A and B are shown apart, each in its own frame.
Chain A
Amino acid sequence: MPTFVVEVEDLVKKFDSFVAVDHIHFQVEKGEIFGFLGPNGAGKSTTIRMLCGLLLPTSGKGKVAGFDLMKEPEKIKQAIGYMSQKFSLYDDLTVIENLHFFGGIYNLSGSSQRKRENEVLEMIGLQDLQDRITRTLAVGSKQRLALGCAILHEPSILFLDEPTSGVDPISRRNFWSLIQHMGEKGVTTFVTTHYMDEAEYCGRLALIYQGRIIALETSSELKVKTLSRGVLEVECDPLIPALDLLKKEPWISESAVFGDGLHVISKEGVDLEREINGLFQKHGILLKRMGWIRPSLEDVFVSLIEREEKQ
């Protein structure tokens, strides 16, 4: 029997007539890294803000860390750590002053506060920069500091809203290894992102689109279930006319440009390679290379959203 630290049922948030979050339903297990994946404006931030007690849901039910979303938002706030999408520490304070401040806010004090601050500084690798004014830090260091402030009081659940947007890939990897490390210790992480490579770090993924969850699986399940027929990578010249041609064919399920090639998914029972060969020859398109690949999360993502849009 798994213990759920986040449970949400029929959660709705409306801003006037605009429905930002539309009857979503999910659970997050203790220690899980749960990804909330979706394009901009899909309702990711609104959801995470409701879970953190920053926005009152319009309707629905939910519990975070055992506390009611509607009635006990202040109790939730003591149990969680939150990293907002926009960097929101005090940039005229030094690194250590920011940590001190949040330590004070979460009621740490005395030698235990000092000890915990040093632990966190070491964890986020900012010991040598602790007296730097936060404004002067690199983006990656700022993000780590924001994480540090969020985990200072050892919350059982972390809510991260697009934590590594604008961060270089190496810093991003460091950041995620920190999150995974905490997951091993039983800290649950709820993260929103629109980066596919970030989503790969997540145990389970909820795909949110226009306020609704359109898929909720582990990332490998998502790939298998959504794209069981696999993805054909096609390199050809010219690229865009080829794409336009493919889109008109009835046997094509999805097609999109990826890098300098096309990713093509066919409908069931089609010999895709033969059809493409024939089509390209007829229209004088040069086929350079063609091969089956493992679908990436991005393929899954695009395919699910296209499917949703067609409905």
Chain B
Amino acid sequence: MKPSRTWAIAKKEFFHIYRDPRSLALVILMPALLMLLFGYAVTLDVKKVSMAVLDRDRSQESLNFIQRFSASPYFNLRFSVQDGKEIERLIDQGEVKMGLILPWDFSKTIKAEKVVPIQVLIDGADANTANIILGYAQAIARQYTQEKTILKVSRMGVTNLNLPIDVRPRVWFNEDLESKNYFIPGLVAVIMSIAGVLLTGQVIVREWERGTMELLISTPVRKGELMMGKLIPYFFLGLLDLSLAVLMGKWVFEVPLRGSIALLFALSCIYIFVALALGLTISTFARTQLLANQMAMLAGFLPTFLLSGFTFVIPNMPHWLQIITYGIAPRYYVTILKDIFLKGVGFSFLWRETLVLIGMAAAGLWVATRGFKKELR
């Protein structure tokens, strides 16, 4: 491989990028836009759940209980209604996510120290959110029950009541359990995948479509020189996108970056090569730019979004799907990003992922180069 030829190709690609401000703008705007969209839109935090209450008892006791919900940051008491039909209607219309119904004998039963059933209706269309809401409601009820029990026991003369287990949770890595801290590092992987694949997804097929490939393959240029030359400029654009995404994560979304930023960039560089090589492969095999673009969107976006552990937890997937995730590069990159961002781990914890990514980058380049034929088609 002659460096002068590789350099000639790289320089030419730089000119293409430089002369086409629209594509350059896309390269810079797309990551910023994705970051903002996903950063603000994708959240699993369930807060201020709108709810309606039907209090059939209307006693001090029932008001006190309802107060627990309205005072909680997780609930937003929007409606007090007079009958059960009303709650059904509000849930049907999507006005509220939850309905709470207290029976007419709520305070009476509690005073009689019996078990009182209360009804919680939850819009379960979104199972995940419903589960979380259910958890909140149960926690409030449990707390209330516990307080009542302690009160009752102390009235019986027991003063130093000790509950056997006192859970004192301490959450690591994402102390405030904010879903953005979990999402943003994964989002960097999504952006790098899409950007990387889109950047190189055009470069070969475009030359075929414009007819410039016919002349290029009539020269003694080698396939490897062509591929490397085409990679270099886009690698730098990828670095630009990476910096943009990391900076936005840190300064706009205030995600803690606990690990070494140098390590983050070094390992990300390897991933950029993986994504660019995938783009090159697509570009080598696709017959039209349009097709290449669509394939690049799919190949860049879907695996990273669905199978990398970015949105969906891999251990919860069916076994066969888990096996597939081992074959896709973003899985390893998302691990690297989350570990460096949130856990602040060093290279000694990430060398396996790094090796896999290096292997994948090399394999991708090999396939793209082998797949390219210096012959008219």
Q: Which residues of A contact B220 (CB under 8 A)?
A: 74, 77-78, 105-106
Q: A87–B8 Cα gap in the complex (Å)? A: 20
Interface residues of chain B: helix, strand, loop or mixed (majority): helix
The answer to whether the Cβ of B258 comes within 8 Å of any Cβ in the partner chain is no
Q: How far is the CB of A200 from chain B (nearest CB, A)?
A: 27
Q: Which listed residue, B2, B20, B215, touches A107 by the CB 8 Å rule? A: B2
A88 close to B214 (CB less than 8 A): yes
The CA-CA distance from A28 to B289 in the complex, in Å, is 40
Residue numbers in B under 8 Å from A106 (CB-CB): 219-220
Contact B5–A107 (Cβ < 8 Å): yes
A92 & B15 in contact (Cβ 8 Å cutoff): yes
In the complex, how many residues of chain B place their beta carbon closer than 8 angstroms to a beta carbon of chain A? 27
| Minimum CB distance partner of A102 in chain B | B219
**Which residue of A73, A77, A86 is within 8 Å of B214 (Cβ)?**
A86
A77-B219, A90-B212, A92-B15 in contact; A56/B5 too (CB < 8 A)? no
> For the complex, is A38 an interface residue (Cβ under 8 Å from B)?
no
Assess whether A55 is interfacial by the CB under 8 Å rule.
yes
Given contacts A92-B16, A92-B20, contact A54 B8 (CB under 8 A): no
Q: Are B4 and A107 in contact (CB-based, < 8 A)?
A: yes
Q: Are A88 and B212 in contact (CB under 8 A)?
A: yes
- Chain B residue contacts of A80, Cβ below 8 A: 218
Asked if A52 contacts B12 (CB within 8 A), the reply is no
Complex CA distance for A82 and B217, rounded to whole angstroms: 10
Identity of the chain A residue whose Cβ is nearest the Cβ of B377 in the assembled complex: A55
Of chain A, the residue at the smallest CB distance from B20 is A92
Q: Is A84 an interface residue (CB 8 A)?
A: yes
Task: Flag whether B239 is at the interface (Cβ < 8 A).
Answer: no
Distance of B212 from chain A, by nearest CB (Å)? 5
Please provide the chain B residues from 327 to 377 with a CB less than 8 Å away from any CB of chain A in the complex: 374-376
Interface positions of B from 2 to 40, Cβ below 8 Å from A: 2, 4-5, 7-9, 11-12, 15-16, 19-20
B11 lies within 8 A of A101 (CB): yes
Q: A104-B5, A105-B5, A107-B5 are in contact. Are A54 and B219 (CB under 8 A)?
A: no
| Contact, CB under 8 Å: A89 / B376 | no
Is A61 an interface position by the 8 A CB rule? Answer: no
15 contacts between A and B (CB under 8 A): A49-B376, A52-B218, A54-B217, A54-B218, A78-B220, A87-B211, A90-B15, A90-B16, A93-B15, A104-B7, A104-B11, A105-B8, A105-B9, A107-B2, A107-B4
Chain B CB within 8 A of A7 CB:
no
Considering only residues 60-76 of chain A, those with a C-beta below 8 Å from chain B are: 73-74
Residue from A82, A86, A93 within 8 A of B218 (CB atoms)? A82
Given A56-B375, A107-B2: A82 and B215 interface contact (C-beta under 8 Å): yes
Can you list, as one digit per residue, whether each of B215-231 has a CB less than 8 Å from chain A (1) or not (0)? Answer: 11111110000000000
Contact A89:B16 (CB < 8 A) given known A54-B375, A54-B376, A100-B8: no
